[in-house]
Structure 1
């Protein structure tokens, strides 16, 4: 278990092997298994996901999405992700829905997502941190190049206005204060509460040039449904 901050509990896992292997202390606070890669063939999966991501994304996501291919290995990995979240995340982090603690998730929806929108072309709502329509969300980073992690915020103003912000939201403002960060690491699964305001860490010259098309930010996403 990796704790990004007191506000943001996040489980960072690098594969789906049983958690009975060697254990390393995380700065004396939380023991965690030493694990390998999350999925075999992640590079090939990234290329296929990027080629298939042609649909505009819903919920004001700044890019495109693609459904997962009909592949037995991917379906099995998705099933194991669901089992891991039920066993490892929900057992440690109390997540509630309709005032009741969630004991397990019924299903998980997965897709691939690309961020490739120029900062100057963002809609006002895309210039602010967001929350997800599910209680728990997961990401697998499929970028060999550095394309940023995930940032978590606390809203400190009663209301926020995206027109007051330029480009992607990556730091403090009068509306939001940065409270945590989970760094990106290739082929790594990250799980976190979707109801905490967060945003992708999109910064650098790549998002302003041709690299946003040639090598965009690509993730596999998991939405867990109770």
Structure 2
């Protein structure tokens, strides 16, 4: 990596053992790629994921809380998930969250249960299955993404956007390659826009020393190391 310091040569063989050759092969574009190039892409991918983490973290927490608050108002209870409108699949996820809280001997308070639910749970509430229950109510839509333009604010558009973000979030969380995505810059722009729709002040907090754009522009060459 070009950081102004001298590094000793690194051996590829043990890296293929601990990181696994099949995993590293996903960073090859041809059989002629050298270990230096492969590990450059791997480390670049790592840097890209690291640079995306703040936006993804804010997205998940903010969307969860915005929708939770909207549903509290809509159903007039903080325990809206205890009512009978959830599908068996989502109800099971609530039950699983309670099990985890009991294991930790934590109180089964609504806010604790909500915090235990996965991002997949929240995006599943955007399904057309819940159109008549919650999404035909303008208040829920407006409160979930209060700064989204009115002409764009529909359940289908929110669903498409959040599922796009969930795919990116899952790839980052499970250490999968994203470096080769041709639309990665656009996905990042969409992510920032969604944060604006949730709360513009979140974007103001994201003045990181090294932004995603800087890491993306550097390319894998900036992350190459002497690998033999």
Q: Which has the higher helix share?
A: 2
- TM bracket, shorter-chain basis: under 0.3
**TM-score scaled by length of structure 2:** 0.27
More relative contact order, 1 or 2 (CA 8 Å, 6+ apart): 2
Specify the structure having the higher radius of gyration (Cα). 2
**TM-score scaled by length of structure 1:** 0.28
Q: Which has the higher strand share?
A: 1
